A and B are shown apart, each in its own frame.
Chain A
Amino acid sequence: EVLMRQSPATLSVSPGEKVTLSCRASQSISSALAWYQQKPGQAPRLLMYGASARAAGISERFSGSGSGTEFTLTITSLQSDDLAIYYCQQYNSWPRTFGQGTKVEIK
């Protein structure tokens, strides 16, 4: 099973600042990585796939990078609407596995 580790667990950021979230896989997953955003009381929503491709309707303020075992999600100019937990997930092998999430709080 591929273990996905996200850091940090929580980020407190002021509006307008840049946010960088990390995700590390326990073995290479190529670029088979997705990022999901989960706002309070809602289901997860796809943000990124293939490590760096934005899903339909996602703001250009969100970008992803990485391959192999190290991945990053960047949010430029953080907005209050970005308050959420962000999860990474690998779809390279079975079982599919998620990171434990990074909670982004607004200062």
Chain B
Amino acid sequence: QVQLVESGETVVQPGGSLRLSCRASGFIFSRYGMHWVRQTPGKGLEWIALISFDISDKYYADSVKGRFTISRDNSMNTLYLEMSGLRPEDTAIYYCARALTPRSYMDVWGKGTTVTVSS
């Protein structure tokens, strides 16, 4: 069945770096755009980034622009989020989600992975 599985929970120090992964299965990964969305108790759901199916388009939220990089490896059916300059406010559950095109909705979500930024 269609499935998205994010990488495991992580604790990282402020200023540190981390790479999240999202492994896709059950569909043709290379035909879909992919999002990262995060959720915190205080700010609810926050969209972070999107990458188009062919990597030609990338979009970022202002809150992460210049610090986070979205990428994908279609041969490995895997989406990535490179995170640097991490701040305590980046502590959240991170979800990957599928979208048929960059202009469409998120139709399948992973279960999420928790990132904690703390010393």
Closest chain B CB from A85 CB (angstroms)? 9
Residues of B48-107 whose CB lies within 8 A of A: 50, 59-62, 95, 103-107
How far apart sit A36 and B35, CA to CA, in the bound complex (Å)? 15
Q: For this complex, into which size category does the number of interface residues on chain B fall? A: 20 to 34
The one of B47, B107, B110, B111 in contact with A96, judged by C-beta atoms closer than 8 angstroms, is: B47
The one of B60, B105, B111, B112 in contact with A34, judged by C-beta atoms closer than 8 angstroms, is: B105
The one of A46, A97, A99, A101 in contact with B105, judged by C-beta atoms closer than 8 angstroms, is: A46
B interface residues with partner A (beta carbon < 8 Å): 35, 44-47, 50, 59-62, 95, 103-112
Closest chain A CB from B48 CB (angstroms)? 9
Interface contacts beyond A46-B108, A89-B45: sample of 9 additional A-B pairs, CB < 8 Å, sorted by A:
A34-B106, A43-B110, A87-B45, A89-B47, A89-B106, A91-B105, A95-B62, A96-B47, A98-B47
The interface residues of chain B lying within 8 Å CB-to-CB of A97 are 47
The interface residues of chain A lying within 8 Å CB-to-CB of B35 are 96
Contact A94 B59 (CB under 8 A): yes
Q: Does A45 touch B at the CB level, under 8 Å?
A: yes
Residue of B nearest to A45 (CB): B109
Contact A44 B44 (CB under 8 A): no
The interface residues of chain A lying within 8 Å CB-to-CB of B50 are 96
Contact A98 B107 (CB under 8 A): no
Closest chain B CB from A3 CB (angstroms)? 13
